[in-house]
Structure 1
Amino acid sequence: MVLELHRSNYSAETHGSCIRAVNLYMHSHMSPNMSPWTVMMSMILFLTPIICLLFSLHDKGSRVRYGKWLETIHKQRYYLHAMGYIIIIRWKNLTDGLNEPIKHRVGHWTDTVHNLEGNAVLWVQNTFQNDALTTFLNFHYLFVYLFLIYVTTVYYAYTSDRDMTDKVTLNYLLIYAIAVPYYLFFNVEVTSSWIPGMDALLYHDSWYSTFYAKHDPLDNAVPSLHVAIPFGILMLNYLHVKSKGLTLKEWRHYRYHMFILINTVVFIFAILYLGIHWIIDIPLGMIVGGIGALFIHHLQPRLRNDYGAMFKGVTRQKVRKHILVEGTILLVLFAAIMGAINYQDSTNEEQPSFQLGPGDTVQDIIAEMNPKYSATTTIKNFDDSNTLEYAILTVNLAESGFSDFSIDWNKMKGLAEHHCTQKVECTASLLPNESIDLKLNSPYVYTFIFLHHAGDEGTLEVQVVSHYEDSDNSMTKAVALSLSSLYITGFVIYRLYRLNKNGRPYYDARPSHTWEEE
């Protein structure tokens, strides 16, 4: 997609040097061979040394010298951190692969959240919307988020802070693990799929459309990891400093801490403005980030054997007590999840998946699958007076149908008609209260189902439910993946209880056997 030149000129004139990154991003739009992944990796390689050098200018003595890098990686076992990132990528792919197959049972809670919040996020978007801001925030939402996850580990390692290197690496690994049951069993659609008139400013940008179709199922709004992960870093910084008897301003990483804080504030605004998250996702993201930070802060000293062998002080009596208390908490949370699943399973039949205002177009995603399998997708028009139009198109062929952060319905419909790869009609209309069952194939590719409200008035409610042939064990796998989250929550609750009972502050990370030795 070619962006108008006046956007680039406006950005340069109005925002100065800080918008150079946006201009680089806009130039990348002009190159059809540059994917978001390529641009992101290129900028990571370029900015990592700059960030590390800039934020350590006041403490040059802490820098790991070039010739000592490999020795430090081996000595501090930082290769385990790299392995951890590989594990979480695999974990995320596995989780995302379960999301769609179980969705017909777990439904979603979007109507509940919308009833609580109303259209507050629509006001945010309408108040501030302009193309330059949208372009910058789209870039920031993807690149800066991933960059912070990566560069924070590198920065702490480069400045010889072993403990914080451990903690921020575990932060990404474990916070995602904590979020798994909420993503799988408490689905909430993104705001632009539910609030009539709310634009999907990120997902309807052609340059990002394929990338996000492959990595974002659009119903994982609660909680926001764009809040949870950076907040987890901020919380870890605070807990670490408190445990050392310092204040944040006295800490040598205070400048970097403020860098993360500023970007976290931008994330919070971006997730509301871009039509992605609900307001409630922010405090829930902070809770998830806080649980993860507390677990990591109290676990890391044992992993590093800072107070003797890892299992020093562990007795059978303590193990039994941990199993009893933490296991009870796990079972209570598990029962709550099962209750929510059963409730949703009994009410799914009449629950709409999307709400569209006049002229609105939204999309559902059919996950990639083995060619020998298919998915049966049922589309229902719940409206009594308006006609629903739909179009089916693989994600890579849909890119040219996005224009100016929106969907050009006529063009997208034409693309679907011309490039139809299904054995069913790829474009059609559903009359009021009509439904249709479609047997769809999506061999090793993701597929969009676009839904369009062609009427002039009213809110059109639509239900889209897909049943995947290869999903027999998906629910069992989803439950198994969620158990670690429930255990971590139980551990944190019991740890805080024990600290309080023994008159110790919540940031005291020393193992309990050291309390007995005092």
Structure 2
Amino acid sequence: MSPFQSMTHATVYIVITIFVFLIAATRSSPFNIAGSFVQEVFTSRKYVLHFAALITILFFNKVEMIIEKKMHFGADFTKSIYGIEGNFVPAIQNFFHNDILTYVSSYFYVVVFPAVMIASIALYTYQKNYKLFYAICYALMFNYMVAIPFYLFFPVNEVWSFHPNVKLLILDAFPTFEQDYRPLSGLDNCFPSLHTSISVSMAVIAVKSRNTFWKIFVPISSAFIIFTIFYLGIHWLSDMCAGVVLGVVAARVGLRIAEGRLVLGEQALLKPLKNNEL
């Protein structure tokens, strides 16, 4: 029996995984962490604005697919990528192929990837580490702002759909993947790999965290997710390389902007104190 029977099953696994991550990272009840999020929503206008922008940006893939259909842009760069890379992806897939690894890889690709993003937001909110929360918001915005033009004007199809020796292994664990998950991402939304770039951004930001578990776990999970994009037959090596560069740059940009906002905020708080002292 396949572990993922539908997107509903996947959603349940995501929620459970988020709870496990938060308990492991904080040794606290996830409900206490949820309470801190609700408190921020009702007490901080700036937090709400950033969170709303974050939610909006996550739907941009869907918007991009609608725009792409209306554009009727006929270019396809898949053959060029294949000509450069050849059999790199099938070599990875054939060497490591194993049923258990397929299930684990599918779990990381479908469940752990979003769970790390959501748990990061919850963790940094709970710890009142606003710099890292804002950094995630800006990094995700940057990732999508750079990736979407490529999806529109540099379409590259997923490896399994083009390479004769590559199979979409995720179907062994998630038989309805094409029906349930495909509406979230187009078949030609390959370059750069957002699974790679966002995972790398989460890892770079997590290293700045005060939480020992999180700063170790997130980079490890990021590395494994990068492995899954090849093993499952989804992305090309070029997608991954571009994704790593984008992820690092997005995280650094996000951190720099977040640090700048905090400095300005601190100056605004200190100014009245200095005036009173005078």
Smaller-chain TM-score range? 0.7 to 0.9
Q: Alignment partner of 1:206: what SS?
A: coil
Q: Which amino acid aligns with 1:285?
A: G
Shift of 1:66: 7.7
Residue 76 of structure 2: aligned partner: 108
- Higher fraction of strand: 1
Residue 211 of structure 2: aligned partner: 253
Q: Which amino acid aligns with 2:86?
A: G
- In structure 2, the CA distance between the partners of 1:72 and 1:64, relative to structure 1 (3 Å rule), is farther
Structure 1: distance between partners of 2:116 and 2:34: 22
Percent identity, aligned pairs only, is 24
1:94 corresponds to 2:63:
yes
8 A Cα contact 1:64 1:159, kept in partner? no
Structure index of larger Rg: 1
Shift of 1:154: 0.6
1:301 corresponds to 2:269:
no
- In structure 2, the CA distance between the partners of 1:66 and 1:135, relative to structure 1 (3 Å rule), is closer
8 A Cα contact 1:175 1:228, kept in partner? yes
What root-mean-square deviation, in Å, do the aligned CA atoms of Structure 1 and Structure 2 show? Answer: 2.6
Picking from 176, 191, 203, the partner of 1:234 is 203
Write out per-residue CA displacement over residues 358-391 of structure 1, whole angstroms, 9 at most, x where no aligned residue: xxxxxxxxxxxxxxxxxxxxxxxxxxxxxxxxxx
Structure 2: distance between partners of 1:96 and 1:67: 36
Q: Which amino acid aligns with 2:247?
A: G
Q: Alignment partner of 2:92: what SS?
A: helix
Structure 2: distance between partners of 1:188 and 1:73: 39
- In structure 2, the CA distance between the partners of 1:203 and 1:98, relative to structure 1 (3 Å rule), is farther
| TM value normalised by structure 2 | 0.83
Write out per-residue CA displacement over residues 136-188 of structure 1, whole angstroms, 9 at most, x where no aligned residue: 22222111111112111011111221111121233223312221111111111
Structure 1: distance between partners of 2:63 and 2:34: 37
| TM value normalised by structure 1 | 0.47
Residue 230 of structure 2: aligned partner: 272
- 1 or 2 for the larger relative contact order (CA 8 Å, sep ≥6)? 2
Structure 1: distance between partners of 2:38 and 2:134: 17
Picking from 191, 194, 198, the partner of 2:166 is 198
Q: Which runs of 5+ in 1 are unaligned?
A: 4-24, 30-34, 242-250, 310-518
Structure 2: distance between partners of 1:218 and 1:159: 38
- In structure 2, the CA distance between the partners of 1:209 and 1:70, relative to structure 1 (3 Å rule), is closer
Structure 1: distance between partners of 2:38 and 2:161: 48
8 A Cα contact 1:56 1:159, kept in partner? no
Q: Which amino acid aligns with 2:265?
A: D
Residue 182 of structure 1: aligned partner: 150
Q: Alignment partner of 1:55: what SS?
A: helix
Aligned length: 263
Shift of 1:308: 3.6
- Higher fraction of helix: 2
- In structure 2, the CA distance between the partners of 1:74 and 1:302, relative to structure 1 (3 Å rule), is farther
1:146 corresponds to 2:105:
no
1:51 corresponds to 2:21:
yes
8 A Cα contact 1:64 1:160, kept in partner? no
Write out per-residue CA displacement over residues 190-230 of structure 1, whole angstroms, 9 at most, x where no aligned residue: 11122112112235752212013322221111111111011
Q: Which runs of 5+ in 2 are unaligned?
A: 269-278
8 A Cα contact 1:175 1:229, kept in partner? yes
Q: Alignment partner of 1:189: what SS?
A: coil
Q: Which amino acid aligns with 1:220?
A: N
Structure 1: distance between partners of 2:34 and 2:56: 28
Structure 1: distance between partners of 2:33 and 2:98: 45
8 A Cα contact 2:77 2:155, kept in partner? yes
1:41 corresponds to 2:5:
no
Q: Which amino acid aligns with 1:262?
A: I
- In structure 2, the CA distance between the partners of 1:112 and 1:56, relative to structure 1 (3 Å rule), is same
Structure 1: distance between partners of 2:267 and 2:146: 28
- In structure 2, the CA distance between the partners of 1:164 and 1:64, relative to structure 1 (3 Å rule), is farther
